[in-house]
Amino acid sequence: MFEAVEELVGEHADLEKKLADPSVHSDQANARKLNKRYAELTPIIATYRAWKQTGEDIETAKEFAADDPDFAAEVKELGAQREELTEKLRLLLVPRDPSDDKDVLLEIKAGAGGDESALFAGDLLRMYLRYAERVGWKTEIIDSTESELGGYKDVQVSVRTKGGNGATEPGQGVWARLKYEGGVHRVQRVPATESQGRIHTSAAGVLVTPEAEEVEVEINPNDLRIDVYRSSGPGGQSVNTTDSAVRITHVPTGVVASCQNEKSQLQNKEQAMRILRSRLLAAAQEAAEQEAADARRSQVRTVDRSEKIRTYNFPENRISDHRTGFKAYNLDQVLDGDLDPVIQACVDTDSAAKLAAANSH
């Protein structure tokens, strides 16, 4: 492990020299790439230096302890610090998801359960909006289809960091946290439409994809078929009177994106292009990276209650994540945005699995 870190120390020093050269910054794309890699390596190098320094401090403390037993406690304390730094370094060296710094598009679809499922989809939307508010992310509803009782048959949300261009620190983007939300979410409660007070089970599906940067996906305008049509649903006087809704089809792949929530055709076109760009990126990544494809396929494709990743039990105020074994009796708080402990359990489980895989090689 530590031989590999020495190589990274050399790479880090080389990047530092390059970034100090003003000519490098004349190519903004290359400068961003170098800066990103430098930021990725910095916490590893800092932890490694602290680990080495602790080792030297232990040797010094041992020498003093030979003449003064009072230093024995310091040797023990430094040893504990070194163990912590060793574990931290192991975790930092685990291969990271290259999309962790990205913003995301999150889609919630009602599934089994009819109107109750649509209402639950609305509850999930509120949960994610509240969570984003707590974390300090920006959210924007891009497209939605409301149900008659006030829930959502389908809703798509953009979730972004404050800068709107991914994370400012490596691994701190929206995808790094919300990628674990993809899958079937099951709810157990007495529906508002139930007159007998019986508990029903229904489900909603959540799909999460990293949002593409414009430079990542090249789209030939000649490959696009753009259709305009009249919007439907809430939206003011222009609804049903002008062709402001936009549907864009990427002809070579058949990927379709549409938007009708904005007032003008131009705004809807811009939003639809954002969706299309991200969907094309996801498709390209699936073709190029088998591991990423497996991860996406593990998300919901059909909202089937048997494929659940999490259960929200209202009578017991209980939330259970079936992948990690996480269970808590504060469902009301979680639905109000207190989602961090649930997500952190997924992060920890994922890190432990990656660490175990790395150690087995």
As a whole number of angstroms, the distance between CA 193 and CA 213 comes to 43
As a whole number of angstroms, the distance between CA 271 and CA 152 comes to 19
For residues 152 and 225, membership in a common domain is answered with: yes
- Indicate if the pLDDT at residue 244 is higher than 90: no
Mean pLDDT, rounded, for 347-359? 81
SS3 of residue 217 by DSSP: coil
As a whole number of angstroms, the distance between CA 347 and CA 341 comes to 10
In a domain, 313, yes or no: yes
Choose between 181 and 353: higher pLDDT.
Answer: 181
Choose between 222 and 358: higher pLDDT.
Answer: 222
From 101-110, 119-128, 223-232, 246-255, the region with the lowest mean pLDDT: 223-232
Number of domains into which the chain is organized: 2
H or E, element range at 189: strand 183-189
Q: Specify the residue for token string 């998300």.
A: 299
SS3 of residue 112 by DSSP: coil
pTM: 0.68
For residues 89 and 110, membership in a common domain is answered with: no
Four-CA torsion 324, 329, 332, 337, nearest 10 degrees: -40
- C-alpha angle 313/318/323, rounded to 5°? 90
Contact call for residues 334 and 208 (beta carbons, < 8 A): no
As a whole number of angstroms, the distance between CA 68 and CA 205 comes to 65
Mean pLDDT, rounded, for 300-325? 82
- Indicate if the pLDDT at residue 214 is higher than 70: no
- Indicate if the pLDDT at residue 237 is higher than 70: no
Q: How confident is the model at residue 87 (pLDDT cuts 50, 70, 90)?
A: confident
For residues 232 and 319, membership in a common domain is answered with: yes
Between the CA of residue 271 and those of 158, 163, 195, 259, 260, what are the distances in Å? 10, 18, 42, 6, 9
Q: What is the pLDDT of residue 229?
A: 87
For residues 132 and 184, membership in a common domain is answered with: yes
For residues 202 and 295, membership in a common domain is answered with: yes
Domain span including residue 153: 104-352
For residues 60 and 110, membership in a common domain is answered with: no
Work out whether the CA dihedral 337, 341, 345, 350 comes out positive or negative: positive
In a domain, 192, yes or no: yes
Q: What is the pLDDT of residue 243?
A: 77
User: How many residues belong to the chain?
Assistant: 361
For residues 82 and 109, membership in a common domain is answered with: no
Classify the phi-psi angles of 130: left when phi > 0, otherwise alpha if psi is within -120 to 50, otherwise beta: alpha
Contact call for residues 231 and 244 (beta carbons, < 8 A): yes
Mean pLDDT, rounded, for 286-293? 55
As a whole number of angstroms, the distance between CA 239 and CA 230 comes to 7
- Indicate if the pLDDT at residue 289 is higher than 60: no
Mean pLDDT, rounded, for 206-225? 80
Q: Which of 292, 335, 259, 317 is nearest to 107 (CA)?
A: 259
Classify the phi-psi angles of 220: left when phi > 0, otherwise alpha if psi is within -120 to 50, otherwise beta: beta
For residues 70 and 117, membership in a common domain is answered with: no
Mean pLDDT, rounded, for 157-185? 80
Beta bridge partners of 250: 224, 255
Q: How confident is the model at residue 97 (pLDDT cuts 50, 70, 90)?
A: confident
For residues 124 and 272, membership in a common domain is answered with: yes
H or E, element range at 273: helix 265-288
Contact call for residues 257 and 275 (beta carbons, < 8 A): yes
For residues 74 and 146, membership in a common domain is answered with: no
In a domain, 72, yes or no: yes
- Indicate if the pLDDT at residue 212 is higher than 80: no
Which CATH number does the domain housing residue 281 bear?
A: 3.30.70.1660
- Indicate if the pLDDT at residue 58 is higher than 50: yes
CA 327 to chain centre: 21
Mean pLDDT, rounded, for 298-325? 80
In a domain, 327, yes or no: yes
As given in the structure block, the two tokens for residue 103 are 């913003």
For residues 50 and 125, membership in a common domain is answered with: no
Q: What is the pLDDT of residue 192?
A: 72
As a whole number of angstroms, the distance between CA 153 and CA 122 comes to 9
